[in-house]
Structure 1
Amino acid sequence: MWSRVRRAGIVTALALPCSLIAVQSAHAGLGGAPMTPPTGSSVSTRTIQPGSSAANAAQGVMRSASNAASSTSTSYTVRETALGNGTVVREYLAANGSVFGIAWRGPQMPDLNDLLGSYFPQYVAGVKTVRAARGGGHGPVSVDQSGLVVRSGGHMGAFNGQAWLPPALPAGVSGSDIQ
């Protein structure tokens, strides 16, 4: 009996590091470079011209900068990554390649520490303030500050949220475009 327990402990000790290597998180950073897609994920990219309907953008209508109607708005890129666990992360990239917005939806909550990058501590402080004001509890959270907006909600098996940097939004883009 003792040898079976010992053997199980050794097998578990050896398997744990291997399983941790197999699980890769999606590293992105709001305000920084787009994520490096984890193994097993799929990525699609499209260019959006602000002023086009948000419904078309959400449905994935492809637009190229050369085909877009000319206006004073700046086009931006939406990079959608479907993670192996079924969660979809959309990154909104400015012309310079920096991420000004992120949206997610799916059965598992993404690692907000990775997605929000250097803005994660500001988000955590905002959540604490919101929860303290409403007397604690759990549930949907909305942090709405001049430099950072994060909306996160859902339930087990169906999570969603958006985060964006209001000062970094390109001309013609609003927070409602981050979907």
Structure 2
Amino acid sequence: MWSHVRRAGRVTALVLPFVLPGSFSAVQSAHAALGGAPMTPPADASVSSRTMHPSSAVVRSASGAASSASASASATASYTVRETTLGNGTVVREYVAADGTVFGIAWNGPQMPDLNEMLGSYFPQYVAGVKAARAARGGARGPVAVDQSSLVVQSGGHMGAFSGRAWLPPALPAGVSGTDIQ
């Protein structure tokens, strides 16, 4: 799983941009699934959430307080962003539709979340997309982008700093685009 590159006397580790089940013991389990219910956070996690309205601009101040530029947003178009900080420092944001279904997930932090759990039933489709993208690049590794009509996943980073996002285009609420998943 690891490959090493020697540069000027240093060894730099390059990591696969996705983690296969059971292949990285430090991956923290979060129990979420794209297209399903929000995760059950581990005991050492902290959780916060906020309701978003696609038709209104939400501005965050430096103190973290949010103010809305338009208070007249439709309740049916709203969604919730649920942010979970795992004990290892990785932050996972789930984008939850009004019906309780997760339509998008974003992550960043020092450790990669378990994408098998995070993507749920979409994981095999993701793995196939990664294999196809790598084959098209002659086997070259690097940031991964799987862009299909039913699933989009963008993932990359390096040891100690991983980030990515995934969403289901057909499940995006009205007024929400893939760029909103951050």
Q: 1:137: Cα distance to partner?
A: 2.1
Task: Name the SS of the counterpart of 2:121 in structure 1.
Answer: helix
Q: 1:86: Cα distance to partner?
A: 0.3
Q: Tell me which residue corresponds to 1:128.
A: 131
TM score, norm. by length of structure 2: 0.78
Matched, 1:174 2:177: yes
1:97-112 pair list within 5 angstroms? 97-112=100-115
Q: Tell me which residue corresponds to 1:7.
A: none
Name the one with the larger strand percent: 2
Q: Tell me which residue corresponds to 2:30.
A: 26
Task: Name the SS of the counterpart of 2:92 in structure 1.
Answer: strand
Give unpaired runs (5+ residues) of structure 2: 1-24
Does structure 2 retain, via aligned residues, the 8 Å contact 1:149–1:166? yes
Aligned residues: 155
Name the one with the larger helix percent: 1
Instruction: Render the CA deviation track for 1:95-122: whole Å, top value 9, x for unaligned.
Output: 0000000000000000000100000000
Q: Tell me which residue corresponds to 2:81.
A: 78
The whole-number CA distance in structure 2 between the counterparts of 1:54 and 1:124 is 35
Q: 1:124: Cα distance to partner?
A: 0.3
Percent identity between matched residues is 74
The whole-number CA distance in structure 2 between the counterparts of 1:63 and 1:116 is 32
Does structure 1 retain, via aligned residues, the 8 Å contact 2:28–2:88? no
Does structure 1 retain, via aligned residues, the 8 Å contact 2:56–2:73? no
Task: Name the SS of the counterpart of 2:155 in structure 1.
Answer: strand
The code of the aligned residue for 1:29 comes to A
The code of the aligned residue for 1:109 comes to M
Instruction: Render the CA deviation track for 1:33-56: whole Å, top value 9, x for unaligned.
Output: 000000110000100010334764
Give unpaired runs (5+ residues) of structure 1: 1-19
The whole-number CA distance in structure 1 between the counterparts of 2:85 and 2:41 is 9
Q: 1:69: Cα distance to partner?
A: 1.9
> RMSD between aligned alpha carbons?
2.4
